[in-house]
Amino acid sequence: MQILGVDIGGSGIKGAVVDSVTGELTSERIRIPTPQPATPQAVSETVAEISRQLKWNGLIGCGFPAAIQQGVARTAANIDDSWLNCNVQDTLQKATGLPCYVANDADVAGLAEMRFGAGKNYQGTVFMVTIGTGLGTALFVNGQLVPNTELGHLLDHKGREWEHRASDFARKNDDLSWDKWAERFNQYLTHLEQLFWPDVFILGGGASKKFDKFADAISVNAPVVTAESLNQAGIIGAAVFAQLAQKSVDMTQLPS
């Protein structure tokens, strides 16, 4: 099934047509910088522009940087505050004129990895962490998604949000070497491990492509692997989510 997958991020909005059976991109990948301010009108128009550029006229799945309940944004950490309590799904459908399904961006990236990538051979507790503008998390227990964990907003011992200290944006903004940043990121993974004791961590997002620069600094007990689809996981997972949603399948259950 061909579905347009769209990954709405704090710095860029990316989209491509995806074969939801194989997880392969079947069109070019388009990236447009996230408009500033990232208001509902501006972001939805950008999604519509991606759809137009790809000459798309079908189902759309979107990963969105917020906790999403029945299509409604309940947080707005890396997006404009005007999205709070906005029905993201309806807003995108009106802008594109096409059926849209929306879920948390890290959750859909996790769906892609669990179905097609690094997580497909793991059971037990699997934690995906996306490292980008923020820190996204997706938690799976025996193949089932626990949605909207948003654990980049956990606080460190000084009351600071971890994503303000250990995201890729924080690395660049604080002008940190990879070694210095890796110390912070390892502390964050250690915090997650002490709370959830996962069987594996999967790292995604842009910084995961540089894993060789910080792998030696990671000291958690669980194995740490990189996402196989790297920064395309959000696009692929958004398409998978849309397919599940259209079929009215339980959204917390991975396809067999």
Distance CA 98, CA 30 (A): 18
The DSSP code sequence of 8-40 is: E-SSEEEEEEEETTTTEE-S--EEEEPPSS--H
DSSP state of 229: T
Distance CA 132, CA 57 (A): 30
Structure tokens at 121: 């051979």
pLDDT tens-digit map of 86-102: 999 999 999 999 999 99
Name the residue type at position 169. F
Buried b or exposed e, range 117-145, using 16+ CB within 10 angstroms: bbbeebeebbbbbbbbbbbbbbbbeebeb
Distance CA 243, CA 207 (A): 28
Residue 9 has pLDDT above 90, yes or no: no
Report whether 46 contacts 34 (CB < 8 A).
yes
**Residue 248 confidence (pLDDT):** 58
Give the mean model confidence (pLDDT) for residues 228-253. Answer: 81
Q: pLDDT category, 229, cuts 50, 70, 90? A: confident
pTM above 0.75, yes or no: yes
Domains defined along the chain, listed by start: 2-107+232-246 (3.30.420.40), 121-229 (3.30.420.40)
Q: Which of 107, 186, 114 is nearest to 151 (CA)?
A: 107
